[in-house]
Amino acid sequence: MNKKMLLRSVSFLCAVLCSASAFASDVVLDADGLEVSDGATVTEPLAGELTETTVRRRWGVRIGRGMLFEKSNSTKADIARLSFLAGADIEWALASSTIGFGVEYGRFGSADGNQTIQVASLNESLLAWTDLGFSREGSFVPYVGGGFGVSRLTAETQLSGMTEKSTGLWLPVGAARVGVLAAWNAALRLRAEARFETAQELKTNDARLGVALSLQYLFGHLN
């Protein structure tokens, strides 16, 4: 009787051990301690997984040419002048638009005179701009902007073989512009704009109305 009970106990224990081994072979513990059985797979992101960084600002550099039509109250004359422009800009993305800040250097020269006297002048300006773009991205983005800075006039006069050069003071200048940004690709775009500037270097309350075309190269993307 005791032998039969012992044999039954051993048989029962072996059955339990075999069942436990079979069940354990179907259970896999993953690296995070999650139980996976019957071939099922549980996927969970790692705690240290990197997420995509959203860039909400970008900056760029640009060069271009402009045409300024100067209205002089002192001489009552309209003069057209070609100008050179160079600048750097940075812009931030808003909900459905952009706001940008930029610094621009501009210059244009002129020459006039006769057989007796020759006068050459150089106008330089340094402006800080704030622009509002009406879209974050697109092939064509209209914008408006306002600027404030300084300007000065340098003149060189030749009379009877003698040359006299005079340099004016840096005086305040205000400006406004409206234009459109035409994107060639993600990094290159064309800026076309009409602008208005005051000219105070000779204290004659002159005004300039002009157009400008510049090529801008951008670093970064607005996602």
Q: Which CATH class is domain 59-112+124-150+171-197+204-219?
A: mainly beta
Average pLDDT over residues 33-41: 48
Predicted pLDDT at 119: 76
pLDDT for position 15 = 58
- The pTM score is 0.67
Residue 7 has pLDDT above 50, yes or no: yes
Please tell me what DSSP assigns to residue 97.
S
Average pLDDT of the chain, as a whole number? 75
- Residue predicted with more confidence, 169 or 42: 169
Quote the CA–CA distance of 221 and 187 in Å, as a whole number: 8
pLDDT tens figures, 72-103? 554 455 567 788 999 999 999 888 899 999 99
For 207-220, what is the mean pLDDT? 89
CB 223 within 8 A of CB 55: yes
> Where are the domains positioned within the chain?
59-112+124-150+171-197+204-219
